[in-house]
């Protein structure tokens, strides 16, 4: 497994001009990344497109990776912001409502800069996803699990961790794929309805499988 290089910006720009330069670089990078993919994104090209010199780019980003990392960081911050708004609200609702809101949020989140989202999630040589992102996913997972624990009496699942895992994977994968390949508002709406129904049914409805085997499951088994 390839080692992770330094991905922090070299120095934080203090002056206004520097800030503007960083901004212009990041924007150019995003555009080129989307248009030409990771391979086609060369630092010289980014600098040129940004209208600055390569030197300026390297003044703020010690290497190409750190530039992509910044893109990830920003995109992820947007995702997180969109989600963090909805999450507490969802946690206050009943199961059906929470599931529904969760899915709506997932859709909304995937509406944010979807081309960039695609490139970032599919084309970046994974040196391992950004730690912040993992932390965020973990956090959502923990929240959902805690919510399930709290509503345990209303639920009908053998393991709240497993349930949270399945729900998150299912929603994420379905929404992601729909966004990438069958993106129409129509489709998204229908998908949301069906997912809501499926997941709510799963959580509250059906007969639990015979052997829950809960004892064997460690606390972090699903994340």
**Is residue 14 near its own copies by the rule CB under 8 A?**
no
Residues 210 and 95: their CA atoms lie apart, in Å, by: 23
CA angle 173, 37, 138 (to 5 degrees): 35
Would you count residue 11 as binding DNA (CB under 7 A)?
yes
CB of 74 to its own copies, least distance (A): 22
In eight-state DSSP terms, residue 219 is: T
Instruction: Work out how close the CB of 17 gets to DNA at its nearest, in angstroms, rounded to a whole number.
Output: 4
- Could you tell me if 50 and 33 are in contact, meaning their C-beta atoms sit under 8 angstroms apart? no
- In the DSSP assignment, the letter for residue 215 is G
> Which of 9, 38, 97, 132 is in the footprint of its own copies by CB under 8 A?
38
Instruction: Give min distance, CB of 177 to its own copies, in A.
Output: 5
The binder of 123, among its own copies, DNA, none, by C-beta within 5 to 8 A per type, is its own copies
Helices 16-36 and 64-91 cross at an angle (nearest 10°) of 90
27, 78, 142, 172: which one contacts its own copies (CB under 8 A)? 172
- Which region, judged by CB under 8 A, interacts with its own copies, from 25-33, 49-57, 66-74, 181-189? 181-189
State the Cα–Cα distance between residues 43 and 207, nearest whole angstrom: 57
Q: Does 13 bind DNA (CB under 7 A)?
A: yes
Question: Residues near 187 by Cβ (< 8 Å), separated by ≥ 6?
Answer: 178
- Asked if 12 interacts with its own copies (CB under 8 A), we say no
> According to CB under 8 A, which one of 24, 91, 93, 162 is a site residue for its own copies?
162
Distance of closest approach, residue 193 Cβ to DNA, in angstroms: 44
What is the chain's Cα-based Rg? 21
Neighbouring CB atoms inside 10 A of 20's CB total 12
Q: In angstroms, give the least distance from the CB of 15 to its own copies.
A: 13
89 contact, one of DNA, its own copies, none, CB 5-8 Å limit per kind: none
Query: Is residue 200 part of the contact set for its own copies (CB under 8 A)?
Result: yes
Centre a 10 Å sphere on the Cβ of residue 78 and count the other Cβ atoms it contains: 14
Taking the C-alpha atoms of residue 166 and residue 210, their distance in angstroms, rounded to an integer, is 18
The two three-digit tokens of residue 161, written as one number = 């961790």
Contact set with its own copies (CB under 8 A): 2, 37-40, 122-123, 125-126, 157-159, 162-163, 165-166, 169-170, 172-174, 177-178, 182, 186-187, 190-191, 193-202, 205-209, 213, 216-217, 221-223
């Amino acid at each position: 497994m390839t080692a992770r290089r330094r991905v922090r910006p070299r120095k934080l720009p203090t002056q206004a001009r520097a800030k503007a330069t960083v901004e212009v670089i990041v924007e150019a990078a995003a555009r080129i990344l989307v248009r030409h993919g990771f391979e086609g994104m060369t630092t010289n090209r980014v600098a040129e497109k940004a209208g600055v010199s390569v030197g300026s780019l390297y003044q703020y980003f010690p290497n190409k990776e750190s530039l992509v990392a910044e893109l990830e960081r920003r995109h992820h911050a947007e995702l997180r912001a969109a989600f963090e708004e909805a999450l507490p609200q969802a946690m206050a609702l009943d199961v059906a409502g929470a599931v529904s809101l969760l899915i709506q949020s997932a859709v909304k989140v995937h509406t944010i800069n979807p081309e960039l989202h695609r490139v970032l999630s599919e084309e970046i040589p994974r040196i391992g996803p950004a730690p912040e992102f993992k932390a965020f996913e973990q956090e959502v997972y923990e929240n959902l699990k805690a919510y399930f624990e709290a509503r345990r009496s209303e639920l009908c699942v053998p393991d709240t961790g497993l349930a949270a895992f399945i729900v998150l994977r299912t929603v994420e994968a379905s929404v992601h794929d729909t966004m990438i390949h069958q993106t129409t508002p129509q489709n998204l709406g229908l998908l949301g309805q069906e997912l809501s129904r499926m997941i709510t049914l799963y959580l509250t409805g059906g007969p639990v499988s015979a052997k829950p085997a809960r004892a064997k499951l460690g606390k972090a088994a699903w994340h």
